[in-house]
Amino acid sequence: MIKEIRYIQDYDSLNRDFKVEIKDLKELRDWEFSKDLTLNHISKSFFSFKALSNKKNNFLISQNEIGMLAIFSKYSTDNFDEQYYLLQKKFEPGNDPISQLSPAIQMTYSNLKGKHGGRINNLNFINNLSLKANFSTLQLEQSDSFLHKKNLNYFGLLESNVLPDFFKCIDLFWLSSREIIDFAMEGNILHADTRSILFFVFFRELIKQKFIEIGNNDLNKLFSKFSLFAFKNQSPWIFKKMKDICVYRNGKIYLDDKKEYFDKRYILGVSVKSNAREISIWDQPLLSIESKSIYLFISKKGGEYYLLVSIGLAPGLFTEFEILPSFVENYSEFKNFDYSKLMGKTKELHTSWQTEEGGRFYKRRNLNKIIYCEEMNSFKNEPNLFWIKLNEFYKFSFNTNFVSMELRSISFLFFALLLKK
């Protein structure tokens, strides 16, 4: 069976149904709930939750496998305005809104191998992707919520307008570069994994369109600066038992029982019925976490763009580091942030709410702000903040996997903003 690919405007003609109900964690189908508050899928695959202490108690999603995220281009062309990208309209139980434009392939290794009860896929198709790859790279997921999780980010050419059996249950659509930019600016439409892959695609296009010289920047100095900061500021961590830092209440698992933490981070169960996915009925846990305020400050000096980035030491990284946007803070604690006192004269370039991954998070959305600074403050009292040239950032992004999901996402919005003009 082969399948023709539609355009996004044809979506309304499809009859899709997707219902999500909250369910007690103890009653989840195919999940084992133990008295020590651990949750595991009966297949011993997919994901679970691990408790640890790193300055404070926390629990993270543990998924000991690499997922695959792939977007395809339609044409081998140098004209950005003529390019189309293959995405899927995907429903997930934690999405808000319920469907998002996701990568054409967005699968855990467990799903590829049929552990969810679906078909076992022939991985020869995956092997053949390397022949048409524009890039393929392992990248970090959200380290405030995942335990050292990485996914494969792939972008390549699809030479035919028909697809093999591998895609038969997926609603796929071609979207133009301009459609993607419009959706990015609107917010709450493009999946976080879509933004992650297109960060690399749009970064390359921006470098080409703006005639930005990459040069022979030595990454050793930059990497040394970041790694030495991580070494000096590391803190010990230990694994704990879930029951020692969590409480089960009203069918959910909450972090701690103290007022300052209660309801801000918890695990809930959902039951799903759908005709939009390969499996029509399933249950699963999801992580609810408070929204973040994500700020990216940019500036210009000598005709060159600079980004203000920060070094992060999130619990999911163990002793490694990642490069984050300028500020990433809990929304409730940061919503009245007066950045003018810190940054001087500024101009707000973009503000939008962007959805996160609805297959693991419950209705998680983050506020993204991109702000232009007329002057580049030195931040002598903020040792974790650094100004980085755009061309240095380019080399660092394509040659390492230390750029966080949050920075890839908001930087993609910045690139889309520049390419829109």
Residue 277 has pLDDT above 90, yes or no: no
Residue 3 has pLDDT above 60, yes or no: no
**Which pLDDT score, from 0 to 100, does residue 415 have?**
97
Global model pTM greater than 0.85: yes
Sorting pLDDT into bands at 50, 70 and 90, what band is 242? very high
Q: Can you tell me whether residue 200 is helix, strand or coil? A: helix
Q: How do residues 114-126 score in pLDDT, each as one tens digit?
A: 665 566 566 666 6
DSSP string over 62-81: E--S-EEEEEEES---S-GG
Q: Give the C-alpha distances (Å, rounded to integers) separating 25 from 116, 224, 263, 278, 358.
A: 18, 45, 16, 23, 18
Domains and CATH numbers, the chain: 3-15+64-209 (3.90.79.40), 18-39+238-289 (no CATH), 219-236+291-420 (3.90.79.40)
**Which pLDDT score, from 0 to 100, does residue 16 have?**
78
Q: Give the C-alpha distances (Å, rounded to integers) separating 53 from 209, 263, 314, 329.
A: 46, 19, 11, 19
**Which pLDDT score, from 0 to 100, does residue 251 have?**
96
Cβ-count burial 400-414 (b if 16+ within 10 Å, e if not)? bebbbbbbbbbbbbb
Comparing CA positions, the residue from 175, 169, 162, 160 lying closest to residue 3 is 162
Pick the most confident of 22-26, 77-81, 100-104. Answer: 22-26
Q: How do residues 339-390 score in pLDDT, each as one tens digit?
A: 877 788 899 999 999 999 999 999 999 999 999 999 887 776 788 899 999 9
Please state which of the ranges 51-65, 265-279, 308-322, 365-379 shows the lowest mean pLDDT: 308-322
pLDDT above 70 covers a percentage of the chain that reads 86
Q: How do residues 145-193 score in pLDDT, each as one tens digit?
A: 999 899 999 998 887 665 656 666 678 888 999 999 999 999 999 999 9
DSSP string over 276-345: SSSSSEEEEEEEEE--EEEEEEEEEETTEEEEEEEEE--GGGTT--EEE-SEEEEHHHHTT--THHHH-S
Pairing of strands 346-355, 327-330: unpaired
- Higher-confidence position of 417 and 68: 417
CB atoms within 10 A of CB 62: 16
Comparing CA positions, the residue from 406, 405, 404, 396 lying closest to residue 224 is 396
**CA–CA separation, 317 vs 143, rounded Å?**
6
Burial-class residue 337 by CB neighbours within 10 Å (0-12, 13-18, 19+): middle
**Which pLDDT score, from 0 to 100, does residue 1 have?**
32
Q: Give, for 111, the enclosing helix (H) or strand (E).
A: helix 109-112
**Which pLDDT score, from 0 to 100, does residue 217 have?**
67
Average pLDDT over residues 58-65: 91
**CA–CA separation, 131 vs 134, rounded Å?**
9
- Higher-confidence position of 294 and 128: 294
